[in-house]
Amino acid sequence: MVQVRPVSSLAPGRPPVADTAGTPTVRVRRVRLDAAFDGLDRRLTDDLISSHLVAALSAVFPPGEDFFVRSVRRFRHRIADPGLARVVQGFIGQEATHSRAHDACNARLAELGYPTVGVARLTDRLLRLRERIAPAKANLALTAAFEHVTATLAELLLTDAGTRQRLSAPALKALLCWHALEELEHKAVAFDVYRTVGGGETLRILTMKAARIGFVAFIAAATLVSLCRDPAAHRPGALRTSWQTFRRSALVGPEVRRRLRDYERRGFHPHQRDTTALEAAWRARLDAGGETLDLRGAGAPAA
């Protein structure tokens, strides 16, 4: 089991700084997407609610990640530190690749009857509306907050074999594990850009409080709509049985909630939680197959 530990040298309360010294380059991997998701069937996980939740999450990733890229790009000209500029370049490349990969997955999910097209379109409209109204720094604060949410979910997936085993399709498991690794690799990039351009603690913390509630409400609503359209959910007792499984899953457990709330502490920095050993272990696993990551079943990393 790979250890994940808090970094004591970055004690709570200490003013956070752009901490790029020693940060490894955030590498953009090539992925093979052609026909990778053709084999997916409607059952994405071992239970109904989780399957619809995973589809809803996958649907919001492309517009969400495009928003993250735009938010960070707006401040690129103000980044003087070459180390931070380098990881920003990697962050943009990684997020753009995730967006393309989830688009490919979502097209297949739409064929299977999941409302990924509508959920993605609504997410994109809401984020673009926000960009027209809110200051650029507030959008960057939202990106930094969501990067903490994705890093928290990523750590859960990569540390908890039980969560991974619940994903039925190898291609979906490979997509999410690769995505999770890169979310951990670049987890501090948007945060450090925010800090570098003078983003304050109050805006950062209030943004996370609102983002947490908004994200949970939006994903819950998207999952509910998705479930309502699924004939399998209308079978007597199906939802009750699924709910019994879902409510026990680590995804909705107290540890995830605690880690999300960590971000709301003054002096928080993403590197205070050391995931370098976890990242190294998964890098070795994913990169073992060669330069290009094959997301089709045969080349997918094992559970």
Interface residue list for Fe ion (CB under 5 A): 65, 95, 98, 183
Q: Which is nearer to Fe ion, 46 or 124 (CB)?
A: 124
Provide, rounded to whole angstroms, the least separation between the CB of residue 279 and Fe ion. 14
C-beta of 246 vs 269, nearer to Fe ion: 269
For Fe ion, the closer of residues 114 and 146 by Cβ is 146
- Alpha-carbon distance of 115 to 59, in angstroms, equals 8
Nearest distance in Å: CB 303, Fe ion: 21
What DSSP line would sit under 4-52, residue for residue? -EE-TTS-TTSPP----TTPPP-PPPEEE-TTTTTT--S--BSSHHHHH
Minimum CB separation of residue 232 from Fe ion in Å reads: 29
Question: Please, are residues 166 and 50 in contact by the beta-carbon 8 Å criterion?
Answer: yes
Least gap, CB of 66 to Fe ion (angstroms): 10
- Alpha helices by DSSP H, listed for the chain, are 48-73, 82-111, 116-133, 136-159, 161-165, 170-185, 189-196, 201-228, 238-246, 254-262, 276-287
In the complex with Fe ion, which residue's Cβ is closer, 147 or 230? 147
Distances (CA, A) of 8 to 119, 152, 214, 285: 41, 19, 31, 28
CA dist., res. 70 & res. 64, Å (int): 10
- Residue number, 47 or 186, with CB nearest to Fe ion: 186
- Taking the complex as a whole, the smallest distance from the CB of residue 95 to Fe ion amounts, in Å, to 5
φ/ψ of residue 32, rounded to 5? -95, 115
274 forms beta bridges with 5
Neighbours of 13 (CB within 10 A): 8
Residue 49 or 295 with smaller CB distance to Fe ion? 295
Residue 102 CB, nearest approach to Fe ion (Å): 8
Nearest position to Fe ion, beta carbon: 98
